[in-house]
Amino acid sequence: MTPPLRFRALVQARDLPAVLDLMMRASDYVLLEDGQPPTTAAATSFFTDCVPGGDPAQSVKLGVMQDQRLVGIADMGFGYPKAMDAYIGLLLLDPSVRGQGIGQQTVAQLMAMARTRGATRMLITVLEANPRGHAFWQQMGFADEQRFPPAEGDPMRHNRQRMTRPLLPG
């Protein structure tokens, strides 16, 4: 039986080492996205990044705990691209827990948090080089909205697909 999950807010001063450790364990995705192994700077940016025009202090930095171990992290900002939007910036799971329903439970938690803040739509941007991620988000009810070419300065030259999902009242 899978141990129960617990969600908690992550705080840089306390959780930076655990976030870096998780990024090291989930380096398959970090390498896909950035082309280089996780660094302390990458873990720090998890805490400091936010949606354009947003405030990191207003973002959700969520930890997924199992048996006192950080097995997942999620980042969600608000008010971008529209005022009532919730934008998932990252959902990263330890490879040892993937395929166990933890991603779905984490998305359900994020949806509940977004509804509490009055969001009416959720968004995620998926790398086209990550077809398993795209399939996961489709399974979670997200639909393709807009394709973006590689961003200026992106060393990996990733095309990205923005996906959306309406948030109906709980």
Encode pLDDT of 29-75 as tens digits: 999 998 899 999 999 999 999 999 988 889 999 999 999 999 999 99
pTM of the model: 0.94
Q: What does the pLDDT read at residue 27?
A: 96
Q: What does the pLDDT read at residue 107?
A: 98
- Is the pLDDT at 1 greater than 80, yes or no? no
| Count of structural domains, the chain | 1
**DSSP class per residue in 120-157:** -EEEEEEETT-HHHHHHHHHTT-EEEEEEPPPTT-TT-
Report pLDDT digits (tens) over 101-151: 999 999 999 999 999 999 999 999 999 999 999 999 999 999 999 999 888
Contact 43, 23 (CB under 8 A): yes
CATH number at residue 67: 3.40.630.30
Q: How far apart are CA 38 and CA 32, in angstroms?
A: 11
Q: What does the pLDDT read at residue 170?
A: 66
Q: What does the pLDDT read at residue 155?
A: 81
Question: Binning pLDDT at 50, 70 and 90, where does residue 168 land?
Answer: confident
Q: What SS3 class is residue 22?
A: helix
- Is the pLDDT at 24 greater than 80, yes or no? yes
Q: Provide the domain limits for residue 71.
A: 5-166
For the chain, the maximum distance between any two Cα atoms, rounded to a whole number of angstroms, is: 46
Q: What does the pLDDT read at residue 83?
A: 95
